[in-house]
């Protein structure tokens, strides 16, 4: 049985490496432009090791005990042979899938299997020769592999109980290490091996069975909002959402695409820097009525455009990141950053600003494969990623990565070396997170030293140090900065939507920003739209946020578990699964008074809860040139997504 496993391991490594090399040769120009083949091959070895460890875990655990049982050897051959056939089927399918969709087989591969009649008809009509050749190659590989996995005829290996136990323990340890794939905080995932802005090349480091399996695993994060909150005609959803956003619907699938004219003309587009502060809710910010823990931020609030009623869209970092980097509103599904269908051709500010000549950076003091951030940003327009491993001589490294001051030093380096090319920099802090670690000697800490209060003080100190430096830098007048929280810390309470924990700081500085305090009700999704306007960028995009440089409608939206909230003026409408819609008159921080139902607000809330699912499922939250790259054969194959036929 050990020999069978060894044969499978060698065959799989060699074949997957060979197919990866062949794919790289096929698109060699793109591989060369992205820096060569080495990252693909090294990443491929890691992913292949995980795949092999998953398949061989059971045989390796059983081998010491059943090695000489003929029935076990036959079952092992069947198990490994079946796995081999599945792996090879996906690899043989890969070239044609890349031709159609410019990526390895993924979630769409599974969606196709739901329509065997249409799929087989399409394949037979359009791809007879290719399918014939692929099937022939597949059969040869399968038969050859299955025969190679046959047990040797005269194997005689017996182990004592102690030896068998030790071998099983060793096998368990090796398989666990192989499946986990890394010694870092989070197990291996597609984001771990992403290395460039070409989403196809990032998938080449995977193998196709892993790509499909991970897409299936990720389906758990995708939920249909209509199944949770009830249905509404798609046309009505689009009408209500776009009307509320003052967007004229466009003909065709990209109906939220619109031209936004900038509010300020600039000689050259300004740099845009979005500083996302981990868990820095309004409860900690002095100028927002919170604890007196942020003297630096409070001082800066008097020097910039300070929004006193900004609300987060959720309670997770990825939720805040999707709102701030892509203007994408919240949904009952997981955040787009983690969804398989958003790992390429999904709109972000970087996608739009690339057309304006910007170079885009994502800066994170931790490991960027956490929450799939690396894959999402690198595959959706960002040019460079700076994570902990790339920080030189960081001042402090804690559980979550390099400290906030190290992150800000990296941002300063990027802006200082950008020259005349406009820059987008999305910087995400890590220090204000349990277990509350920070470098000594920066703040006057209260007791106990490991507390959220002290990490907030440190985060605020780091903000103050950075802006003291930035104000004297050459880039200050050419840059518009946003300091904003991703979400609050320790969100909870007895309310269906604990609004006080969605209240966050949002402050725009630099680039000739006039000091003002703005008490309008706003959402995180309004901020990226406003940054484009301030930076002097007039562009087409699908974002439904409001440009705060102009008059706006007071509203904010948020997802809290399975509850969806829509706040307009002081009326909060709450959708809950299987419950009647609730409406309250809200007064900060904790006053909720039930009010008679307002059908207009109920319809608006429901439309905003459903809209993100609609545009995600149809892959229409994107730009025209990216949408046109998705080569779906609409004339031959309807693809059903979430109960609706989508083209």
Q: In this predicted model, what pLDDT tens digit does every residue of 59-83 receive, in sequence order? A: 999 989 888 788 889 999 999 999 9
Query: Given this model, what pLDDT does residue 122 score?
Result: 55
> Residue 574 pLDDT > 60, yes or no?
yes
Q: In this predicted model, what pLDDT tens digit does every residue of 90-113 receive, in sequence order? A: 998 898 888 766 788 887 677 666
Residues 6+ apart with CB under 8 A from 335: 314, 316, 318, 319, 321, 322
Quote the CA–CA distance of 578 and 585 in Å, as a whole number.
22
| DSSP three-state, residue 277 | strand
How confident is the prediction for the chain on average, in pLDDT?
A: 90
Quote the CA–CA distance of 434 and 499 in Å, as a whole number.
23
Q: Which of 96, 118, 97 is nearest to 106 (CA)?
A: 97
Query: Given this model, what pLDDT does residue 353 score?
Result: 97
Asked if residues 558 and 497 have their Cβ atoms less than 8 Å apart, the reply is yes
Distance linking the first and last C-alpha atoms of the chain: 48
- For 3-32, what is the mean pLDDT? 94
Burial of residue 316, with CB atoms counted within 10 A of its CB: 0-12 exposed, 13-18 middle, 19 or more buried = buried
If residue 359 lies in a helix (H) or strand (E), which one and from where to where?
Answer: strand 359-364
Query: Given this model, what pLDDT does residue 217 score?
Result: 82
Query: Given this model, what pLDDT does residue 128 score?
Result: 72
> Residue 8 pLDDT > 90, yes or no?
yes
Q: Label residue 6 by pLDDT band (50, 70, 90).
A: very high
> Residue 559 pLDDT > 60, yes or no?
yes
Q: Which residue carries 């007039």 as its tokens?
A: 538
- For 416-432, what is the mean pLDDT? 95
- For 354-377, what is the mean pLDDT? 93
Query: Given this model, what pLDDT does residue 643 score?
Result: 30
Q: In this predicted model, what pLDDT tens digit does every residue of 170-189 receive, in sequence order? A: 999 999 999 998 887 778 88
What are the residue ranges spanned by the domains of the chain? Answer: 2-220, 225-625
C-alpha distances (whole Å) from 469 to each of 441, 475, 477 are: 19, 11, 13
Query: Given this model, what pLDDT does residue 18 score?
Result: 95
Q: In this predicted model, what pLDDT tens digit does every residue of 132-145 receive, in sequence order? A: 887 888 889 888 88
Asked if residues 111 and 35 have their Cβ atoms less than 8 Å apart, the reply is no
Burial of residue 83, with CB atoms counted within 10 A of its CB: 0-12 exposed, 13-18 middle, 19 or more buried = buried
Q: In this predicted model, what pLDDT tens digit does every residue of 311-352 receive, in sequence order? A: 999 999 999 999 999 999 999 998 999 898 899 999 999 999
Residues 6+ apart with CB under 8 A from 4: 59, 73, 76, 77, 80, 149, 150, 151
Q: In this predicted model, what pLDDT tens digit does every residue of 289-308 receive, in sequence order? A: 999 999 999 999 999 999 99
Query: Given this model, what pLDDT does residue 632 score?
Result: 41
Q: In this predicted model, what pLDDT tens digit does every residue of 306-320 receive, in sequence order? A: 999 999 999 999 999
Residues 6+ apart with CB under 8 A from 457: 293, 294, 443, 444, 445
> Residue 623 pLDDT > 90, yes or no?
yes
- For 486-504, what is the mean pLDDT? 89
- For 613-631, what is the mean pLDDT? 86
Q: Label residue 124 by pLDDT band (50, 70, 90).
A: low
Q: Selecting from 1.10.10.10, 3.40.50.2000, 3.40.720.10, 3.40.50.620, what CATH number does the domain 225-625 have? A: 3.40.720.10
Q: Which of 87-96, 114-123, 246-255, 490-499 has the lowest mean pLDDT?
A: 114-123
- For 560-584, what is the mean pLDDT? 93
Query: Given this model, what pLDDT does residue 493 score?
Result: 74
Query: Given this model, what pLDDT does residue 53 score?
Result: 96
Asked if residues 367 and 401 have their Cβ atoms less than 8 Å apart, the reply is yes
Asked if residues 100 and 633 have their Cβ atoms less than 8 Å apart, the reply is yes
Asked if residues 50 and 181 have their Cβ atoms less than 8 Å apart, the reply is yes
Q: For the stretch 322-349, what's the b/e string if a residue is b when 16 or more beta carbons lie within 10 angstroms of its beta carbon?
A: bbbbbbbbbbbbbbbbbbbbbbbbbbbb
Q: Label residue 523 by pLDDT band (50, 70, 90).
A: very high
């Amino acid at each position: 049985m050990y020999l069978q496993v060894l044969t499978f391991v060698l065959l799989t490594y060699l074949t997957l490496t060979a197919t990866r090399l062949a794919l790289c040769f096929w698109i060699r120009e793109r591989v060369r432009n992205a820096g060569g083949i080495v990252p693909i091959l090294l990443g491929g070895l890691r992913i292949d090791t995980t795949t092999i460890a998953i398949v061989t875990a059971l045989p390796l655990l059983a081998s010491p005990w059943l090695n000489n049982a003929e029935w076990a050897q036959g079952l092992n051959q069947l198990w490994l042979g079946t796995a081999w056939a599945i792996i090879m089927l996906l690899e043989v399918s890969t070239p044609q899938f890349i031709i159609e969709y410019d990526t390895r087989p993924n979630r769409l591969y599974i969606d196709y299997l739901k329509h065997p009649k249409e799929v087989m008809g399409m394949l037979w009509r359009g791809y007879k020769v290719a399918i014939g050749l692929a099937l022939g190659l597949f059969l040869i590989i399968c038969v050859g592999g299955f025969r190679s996995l046959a047990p040797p005829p005269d194997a005689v290996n017996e182990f004592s109980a102690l030896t068998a136990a030790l071998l099983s323990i060793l096998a368990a340890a090796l398989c666990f290490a192989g499946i986990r794939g890394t010694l870092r905080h989070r197990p291996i995932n597609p984001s771990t091996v992403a290395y460039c802005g070409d989403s196809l090349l990032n998938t080449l480091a995977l193998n196709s069975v892993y790509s499909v399996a991970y897409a299936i695993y990720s389906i758990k994060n995708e939920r249909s909002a209509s199944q949770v909150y009830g249905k509404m005609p798609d046309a009505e959803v689009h009408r209500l959402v776009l009307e509320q956003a003052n967007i004229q619907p466009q003909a065709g699938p990209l109906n939220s695409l619109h031209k936004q004219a900038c509010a300020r003309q600039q000689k050259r587009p300004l740099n845009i820097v979005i500083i996302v502060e981990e868990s820095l809710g309004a409860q900690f910010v002095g100028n927002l009525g919170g604890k007196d823990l942020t003297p630096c931020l409070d001082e800066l609030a008097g020097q910039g455009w300070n929004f006193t009623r900004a609300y987060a869209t959720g309670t997770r970092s990825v939720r805040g990141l999707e709102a701030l980097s892509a203007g994408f509103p919240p949904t009952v599904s997981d955040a787009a950053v983690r969804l398989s269908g958003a790992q390429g051709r999904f709109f972000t500010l970087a996608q739009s600003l690339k057309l304006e000549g910007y170079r885009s950076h994502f800066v994170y003091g931790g490991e960027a494969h956490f929450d799939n951030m690396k894959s999402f940003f690198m595959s959706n327009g960002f040019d460079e990623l700076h994570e902990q491993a790339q920080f030189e001589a960081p001042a402090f490294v804690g559980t979550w990565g390099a400290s906030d001051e190290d992150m800000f030093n990296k941002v300063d380096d990027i802006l200082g070396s950008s020259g005349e090319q406009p820059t987008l920099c999305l910087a995400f802090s890590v220090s204000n997170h349990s277990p509350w670690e920070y470098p000594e000697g920066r703040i006057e800490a209260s007791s106990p030293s490991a507390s959220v209060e002290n990490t907030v003080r440190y985060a605020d100190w780091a903000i103050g140090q950075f802006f003291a430096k930035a104000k004297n830098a050459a880039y200050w007048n050419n840059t518009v900065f946003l300091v904003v929280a991703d979400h609050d810390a320790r969100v909870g309470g007895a309310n269906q939507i604990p609004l006080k924990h969605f209240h966050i700081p949002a402050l725009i500085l630099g680039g000739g920003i006039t000091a003002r305090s703005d008490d309008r009700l706003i959402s995180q999704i309004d901020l990226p739209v406003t940054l484009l306007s301030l930076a002097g960028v007039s562009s087409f995009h699908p974002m439904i946020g409001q440009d705060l440089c102009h008059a706006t409608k007071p509203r904010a939206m948020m997802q809290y578990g399975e509850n969806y909230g829509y706040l307009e003026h002081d009326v909060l409408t709450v959708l809950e699964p299987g419950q009647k819609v609730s409406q309250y008159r809200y007064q900060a921080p904790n006053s909720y008074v039930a009010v008679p139902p307002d059908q207009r607000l109920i319809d608006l809330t429901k439309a905003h809860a459903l809209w993100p699912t609609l545009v995600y499922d149809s892959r229409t939250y994107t730009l025209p040139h990216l949408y046109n790259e998705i080569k779906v054969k609409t004339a031959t194959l309807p693809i059903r997504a979430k109960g609706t036929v989508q083209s």
